[in-house]
Chains A and B, each alone.
Chain A
Amino acid sequence: MEDTLERIQSVIISASTKARGSSIAFRRQRNPTRPAASWITTSRIGNSTGKALSVVFSTIGCSHARGESGGCTMCSYLLDGTSVPPSAAELVEQFAAAMSKLDDEEAPLSVKLYTSGSFLDSEEFPSEAMKSVLETIAQDPRITQVVVESRPDYVTESNVSLLRSILGYRHIEIGIGLESMNERVRMLCVNKGFSSDDFEQALLTAKQQNIGVRAYVLIKPPFMTERDAILDSVLTVRQSAALWASTVSVNPVNIQRHTLVEQLWTDGLYRPPWLWTVVEVLKRGHSEIPQETNLVCDPVAAGKARGAHNCGRCDQAVIRAIRDFSLDQDPKSLEGLDCECKTDWEHVLAHEDVSLYVHSDRHEGR
């Protein structure tokens, strides 16, 4: 049986590699002095809300996606990166460009350092650049929270001590794409390439420096029914909170270009999760975790065909409720939502599980 699972995994990896195809070779060469994206949102910062600056650095991209392992089945953030690695100085310049957006904002502020890969991977983000970026933040007293993202491999003792020593008293979180606590789901459905143990180890390492881990939980990787997805995400939320993750961020799959998920979606074999599913995960997840753990969700492409969506009529109201809940952590925000399509979703939950027929959007339209 284990042998069969390994072979299933290798089929999925080769399908994922094939779906990615030559897309990486045709990556754009970006302006190395500008970030791929940066924006400001209202965000949960500690126990209150404030403005958060998110910066997506333009780098050569995630080591897992760059490598031979095929990358994750749903992710093509790699394509946001640039084909030529920016120098340390250029990365610092990217950060300065983004930071200027915070000029008129007031405390508390949060800065989120994203790279579409691992901020802590020195191959992707040279150490000089990392230090310089962190030092810039350290000089700004308005910033009380810093979030970086990394695969667990790079959450090393030296890296976490560096973060702590430069950022001092600030609340620090490392976002790790745990995706699922179920080993099969993470390794096969997502092709994530690291184990639960790797994740737990990273968590312990971070904890030594009083650095929190923000666990990213993926809602509905491919090859799962809608109900599988709910059960798996709720369990993952609960278990990662039990492991002392400081924040759990649930992320419904969205259809990115040149991914296995996109190919399945095109073939009518995958549907992004319903927003009802997201609501369900948040409701159940919230009731099963300690109060001090934040449970947040900012669904990408929500309400669109490529993102988590419902019937089209209720999407905006449900998305608003999800965002409200993420800010206030009040389950009442998720109450009172209703729409005719909820019946359809309930049917899908039951029927897909029995028949394994994928209720895609192909037939009746949205």
Chain B
Amino acid sequence: MSIFRIERGHDGPARIGRLTLDELETSTPSLAGPPQEESHWLTYSVYERSSSSDSAASMIALPTIFASHDETDTLTHKSSLVLLPSIPGSSSLGQEMAELLLSWQLGFLRERPKSVPPQHCVVRIPVGIDTVLLKEYLSQFSELGVRSASFLLNSELGSDDFSSVKLRSAIPRNWLAIALGRIDPHLLPLLIYLGFDVIDIGRAFSAAAKNVRLWQVTNEKVLEVDHQRFCSCRHCISIDDFGETARDNRLETLTGHNIDMYRQVMSESISKMHDGQLRWLVESRTHASPSMTSLLRRIDREIYEFLEEFTPTIGQGVLPLIGPESYHSPIVRRFRERLVERYAPPPHKRIVLLLPCSARKPYSDSKSHRRFSRAIENGIGRSESSIAETIITSPLGIIPRELERVYPIAQYDIPVSGDWDTEETSIAVDALVKHLAKFSDEAVVLAHVSGGYQTIVNEAESRIKQSIIYTSSGHSTGSRSSLESLTEVLQDLKSKLEIRATEQKRLQDTLRSTADFQFGKGTGSLLIPDSAHLKGKLYHMVTCQVEEVQTCSFIGSSGALSLTMDGGERIAPLDRYVVRFEGAEIKGGSIFAVGVNEADPVIRPGDEVVVVGKDNTVMAVGKSEMSGPEMCEFEKGRAVSIRHKRK
């Protein structure tokens, strides 16, 4: 029996899984290669074409369509995955050919339901096939019980590779995805990030046969280079000069080195996945070549929805956003889009104060922002709730002060040199224009900015309705004169706009904005109504009680709200972030995907969710472990970790 189960933990589409083939259990992502003594990977061979020692292989390829293969009876006795027949070298023959290849595989399965059990079979996805067409076929394969697909990569990083990657995003979420072909080590982090579960390392052997030593990013033709690189690996360490090494020894050494290079990169990728930093690793590999950079850009642009669905909304540790490859990463783009969709400025904001970001996060812990805060207090005193502090930053655009603890605002780290490139500038300008459009035309915009930040405000000016006052003309924003000028302008405005001392609304603003950002517009006032009693210290923990009943609490360290049962009941009628549970009772601390047939498609791993039972009442609140669509599609796996449940 072959079972593929996806386990807890996502970092983008990357996932940890477990593939069971009878007694053999392998955790994925896994490598795959030809059988060898002590192979640390899934092994593959071809049906009745390999030596008998290969017959224990975990993947068996059936010969191509043109070879005859009527005797597939023995397959039932094997516990291997079976790669269905296709045709090599046919990718340039267009859509019709691609469709015929799928149609052939389908027919092949239908004619042999007994000798080739579909649940073991792997559909070979034709390069370049239209996604819509593919999906039509896949549902038929799914009905037969097929749960795996293989894709062909050539490491040219061109349209073929992009096609395979894009097609991978089109297969059902619970299928095993296998990457075959020529796959250079530097492609591994990307493939794992994109949710490939099994990756072919045949390239390790062919490179060795060509006297090519593979490294993480580059290749070295050991017999042609002027300077052979030093390698301390167990295979290479005894070799002084490959040119003077006997052929067999050279081959063995290079093969060993190359295989280990794949194992090393695989292990690094998995480790980074556990840290939630796989995307960073992928981005860092874009410098392997210009085509690698273009490939990732194209992926970000064309299959963003796929990447985003599996990207957690919470995270720990620093999130490095280093260069242009980060500008459109799912975390970054999602933040920008959600801010536009979900943030509504509190109605009592009359002044918008634009500030530069700080290297230290959260911003308010930085020296510069503490100075701003003092200048504001000096200027406007107890009316500071009327100021909408707005931080300009790259590549996230603009951040309202209320959301400075939200993921990834408190975590991101960018190179701070003060130089903005054109794209960063245009991203920030766009964000600023959209943000300010949410404020009344009478609001006054104070721009306490210099350098690149000032350029952004200048560029946005023509598209902004409000009047703008620059408070740090020519000087650094943290300089005494700039800060004094900010204080003075605020004092002026206070009297001109007749701003009176108002009650302190910082807690309410923060919690409501956070609620809206987390659950969508309108949830803030449901969870934190005017009658709410807020208790605690902002940025540590704030609890919200309504008539002595707690609805939620704000956790400063994560910048997120956690719901109580009462909170869940308050937002459940909006039908957002709701998981519908089919069971009668929740046993233990989690609910599993098998019990979920309906869940809000907007749910992402890490989201706070409300579990609603068949009787339409709230059964629990908790944290999602997978995306909403995954909960519905998967037959296995933990869907929600329960925080509170109905007693």
Contacts and interface: CB of A to CB of B under 8 A. Distances in A.
Interface of A: 1, 4-5, 7-8, 11-12, 15, 182, 184-185, 188-189, 222-225, 227-228, 231-232, 263-264, 267-270, 340-341, 343-344, 346-348, 350-359, 362-364
Contacts of A7: 96, 100
A189 B66 contact: yes
B107 A4 contact: yes
Given A351-B202, A355-B181, A356-B124, 4 more contacts: A11-B100, A222-B89, A353-B49, A363-B155
Contacts of A188: 66
Interface in B138-187: 152-156, 180-182
A347 B205 contact: yes
Interface in B40-56: 44-46, 49-50
B63 A223 contact: no
Interface stretch (B207-215, B382-390, B481-489, B537-545): B207-215
A228 B59 contact: no
Contacts of A222: 89
B419 to A, nearest CB: 38
Interface stretch (B80-88, B553-561, B616-624): B80-88
Interface in B445-491: none
Contacts of A185: 66
A12 B210 CA distance: 33
B91 interface: yes
B89 A269 contact: yes
Nearest to A346: B209
B366 interface: no
A340 B89 contact: no
A174 to B, nearest CB: 27
Interface of B: 34, 44-46, 49-50, 59, 61, 63-68, 83, 86-94, 96-97, 100, 103-104, 107-108, 111, 124, 152-156, 180-182, 200, 202, 205-206, 209-212, 221, 247, 251
Contacts of B180: 354-357
Nearest to B66: A184
A11 B96 contact: yes
B125 to A, nearest CB: 11
Contact of B66 (A224, A343, A357): A224
Nearest to B150: A355
Contacts of A357: 88, 152-154, 180-182, 202
Nearest to B90: A223
Given A8-B100, A364-B212, A356 B88 contact: yes
A14 to B, nearest CB: 9
Contact of A228 (B63, B154, B155): B63
Given A1-B107, A228-B64, A353 B46 contact: yes
B66 A351 contact: no
A4 B64 contact: no
Which of A184, A227, A347: most chain B CB closer than 10 A? A347
A11 B181 CA distance: 25
B97 A358 contact: no
Nearest to A343: B209
A231 B211 CA distance: 28
A196 to B, nearest CB: 13
Question: Which of B63, B68, B111, B210 has the most chain A CB atoms inside 10 A of its CB?
Answer: B210
A206 to B, nearest CB: 28
A5 B68 CA distance: 13
Closest A-B pairs by Cβ, 4 of them: A344-B209, A357-B181, A269-B89, A355-B180
8 contacts: A8-B100, A11-B94, A224-B66, A350-B45, A350-B50, A354-B46, A357-B182, A364-B210
A268 B91 CA distance: 10
Contacts of A359: 182, 206
Contacts of B83: 354
Given A8-B97, A15-B93, A269-B92, A347 B202 contact: yes
A356 to B, nearest CB: 4
B49 A11 contact: no
Given A4-B107, A347-B206, A354 B44 contact: yes
A313 B186 CA distance: 30
A12 B65 CA distance: 14
B120 to A, nearest CB: 16
B124 A11 contact: no
A222 B66 CA distance: 11
A353 B96 contact: no
B86 A356 contact: yes
B604 to A, nearest CB: 34
Given A355-B200, A357-B154, A223 B49 contact: no
Given A11-B94, A341-B209, A354 B63 contact: no
A351 B92 contact: no
A364 B155 CA distance: 12
A351 B46 CA distance: 9
A11 B182 CA distance: 27
Contacts of A264: 89, 92
Given A4-B100, A264-B89, A353 B205 contact: no
Contacts of B209: 340-341, 343-344, 346-347
A352 B88 contact: yes
Nearest to A184: B66
- Residue picked from A5, A268, A269, A346, most chain B C-beta under 10 Å: A269
**Most chain B beta carbons < 10 A, residue from A184, A231, A351, A362:** A351
B89 A351 contact: no
B211 A340 contact: yes
A362 B157 CA distance: 14
Contacts of A182: 66-68
A232 B34 contact: no
A348 B206 CA distance: 7
A267 B67 contact: no
Contacts of A348: 206
Nearest to A263: B92
Contact of B63 (A8, A263, A353, A355): A353
Given A223-B88, A344-B210, A350-B34, A1 B104 contact: yes
Nearest to A231: B67
A125 to B, nearest CB: 33
Contacts of B200: 355
B88 A358 contact: yes
A122 to B, nearest CB: 34
A356 B107 contact: no
Given A15-B93, A340-B211, A356 B206 contact: no
A341 B202 CA distance: 16
Contacts of B104: 1, 4, 8
A351 B34 contact: yes
Nearest to B89: A269
Contacts of A352: 88
Nearest to B86: A356
A352 B206 CA distance: 11
Nearest to B247: A340
Nearest to A8: B100
A226 to B, nearest CB: 10
Contact of A224 (B88, B182, B202): B88
A358 B89 contact: yes
A356 B100 contact: no
Nearest to A341: B209
A353 B247 contact: no
A231 B50 CA distance: 13
A354 B67 contact: no
